[in-house]
Amino acid sequence: MSELLSDNTKNDQAIPFRFTRLYVTLFIILAVLLTGGQILTQWRLSTVQDELWIIRYTALQRHQSQQIVKQALQVTDINERDNFNQNLSELSHVFSTFERYHLQSREGQVIAHNVLIPNSNTVQRLYDSIRPEFSAFQRSIGHLIRLKRPEDVTSPDTQASLKLLLANEKPFLEEIDTIVRQHTSELRNQLTRLESIELYLYLVSIMVLLGIGLLIFRPATRRLKQTIAQLIEAERQASIANKQLLSVNKSLSETRQKLFEATRLQYQQEIDEQKLRTSYLMAGQEDERKRLSRDLHDGLGQMLTAIKLQIEGLEAGLKRSLAGSETTEFMVRSKSISNLKKLVTQTIQETRTISNNLMPSVLSDFGIIPAIKMLAENDRSDTVDVTFESNLTTDDPRLDKNVEIMLYRITQEALSNAVRHAHPSQIHIELIERQNYVHLIVTDNGRGFRPASQRSKLSQPAKNDRAPSQGLHNMQERAKLLNGKLKISSVPGKGTKVQVSIPYKMQSAHYDIN
């Protein structure tokens, strides 16, 4: 049984190979015939076109010879003496063209169109027979062209040249007509031969196509019918196996779907847990910031204020005890106390700034709009102009506490990064509520930086082409906690744009004023 199957396999492989070889052979023969016929046809058409130029130049000589006779009669006409020079110039021009066309067509060439076809023996004999008439034209027109005055037209030599021209006009026209007819007859014979060749090629092509049909397509069709019957049987068997496979595949699909759903739920649970841990961590950070801010304000701030009051009391007592004394010791002590008071005042102001940065009271008391305004005013200086714009007002419902804290911290981080790293001259802050989204946009015109996706493609990053990665990471984490989107666009030398979009619907929110 296995040997029979092996023999059938060998026959199945040999039959297509023989069909393919026979088909390729006949196809090559057909392609060669069609290509050869096309090349021959194009070559003959090109030759016919060149011969048509020869015939055209030859036929033009008939018209030109009549123009020459007409111009010669006008030159020798006594009534045309006023136009003698013009007629003579036109005669010279027409004869020059006539002479050039005749000499070129005699050699079987048209120089203007790069045509060169040797004339047949018959045409050449006809040109040889027309030489006397052409020579008579040359002598007669040559004499007329050399006339200087209108009075010379009545001379015997001029009249003789005119008679010679008129006597040879009709024979020249008849012989030119004969040459044109001979050219036309030869061209017609060539076209007839071309039609015969094309007919033979057409018949051979038809025979090759019939051979392809009889030797290839007919056996192939018979073999195709057998193959189709085998395929139908194989399809029936495959259908039975397919039903079994469908049953197995269905159970596998159900199992895979369950596994996928379990994996998705586990992954989502891990993400939620990660968000929850991050949320607790940031909430702890905010609580710690609030505690430190309160401790700085209520503890260290009050102690520094008390020290300042004690120094002011000490300064006042010193002035009273040494009133009217302008000693050096008094001046030194007064200056030291004044410097100490300034230092304590600066320390109190710095403590208030640190406390405000940790947790500004204006954020919890009045909301995000006044808080960002105060942040812009604090960062505004002689070298940096910080502006703020928003379509929200203090009369609108407050945002959620977590949203306000996130927006404030991202604004704070963006301003800090811009001032410390970008050195801009202008920073613009926008807070916009549109289509249930809150958009925070911080734009500066600083030196910018190359984003990480582009820096990774460079083998050697620029010296100052480094982004504040930790600050950007913090902003991204804060945006993710509220399902927001953070987009940072920056080009070195053209500034940076930080945009945060949070899905949110404006509504009233409860705040702890403590």
Domain-by-domain residue ranges, the chain?
Answer: 16-228, 364-457+466-514
pLDDT tens, residue by residue, 314-357: 667 666 666 555 566 666 666 777 777 777 777 766 666 665 66
Rounded CA-CA distance 341/311 in Å is 7
In this prediction, residue 506 has a pLDDT band, given cuts at 50, 70 and 90, of very low
What mean pLDDT is predicted for residues 32-54?
A: 75
CB neighbours (10 Å) of residue 181?
12
Do the two domains 16-228 and 364-457+466-514 of this chain adopt the same fold? Answer: no
Higher-pLDDT residue of 359, 392: 392
pLDDT tens, residue by residue, 437-461: 889 999 999 888 876 655 544 444 4
pLDDT tens, residue by residue, 242-266: 888 888 888 888 888 888 888 888 7
Radius of gyration of the CA atoms of the chain, in A: 55
In this prediction, residue 280 has a pLDDT band, given cuts at 50, 70 and 90, of low
In this predicted structure, the answer to whether residue 472 has a pLDDT above a threshold of 90 is no
What mean pLDDT is predicted for residues 189-217?
A: 79
In this predicted structure, the answer to whether residue 3 has a pLDDT above a threshold of 50 is no
Q: pLDDT value at position 15?
A: 58
In this prediction, residue 197 has a pLDDT band, given cuts at 50, 70 and 90, of confident
In this predicted structure, the answer to whether residue 509 has a pLDDT above a threshold of 50 is no
What mean pLDDT is predicted for residues 401-418?
A: 84
Q: Which amino acid is at 503?
A: P
Most confident region among 196-200, 320-324, 350-354, 424-428 by mean pLDDT = 424-428
Long-range CB pairs of 447-456 (<8 Å, 24+ gap) are 447/422, 447/423, 447/492, 447/493, 447/495, 448/422, 448/490, 448/491, 448/492, 448/493, 448/494, 448/495, 448/496, 449/421, 449/422, 449/490, 449/492, 449/496, 450/490, 450/491, 450/492, 451/488, 451/489, 451/490
How much of the chain, in percent, has pLDDT values that exceed 70?
Answer: 75
Q: pLDDT value at position 300?
A: 63
Domain 364-457+466-514 is in which class? alpha beta
Fold for the domain defined by 16-228: f41 fragment of flagellin, N-terminal domain (1.20.1330)
Structure tokens at 16: 């297509």
In this prediction, residue 463 has a pLDDT band, given cuts at 50, 70 and 90, of very low
How much of the chain, in percent, has pLDDT values that exceed 90?
Answer: 3
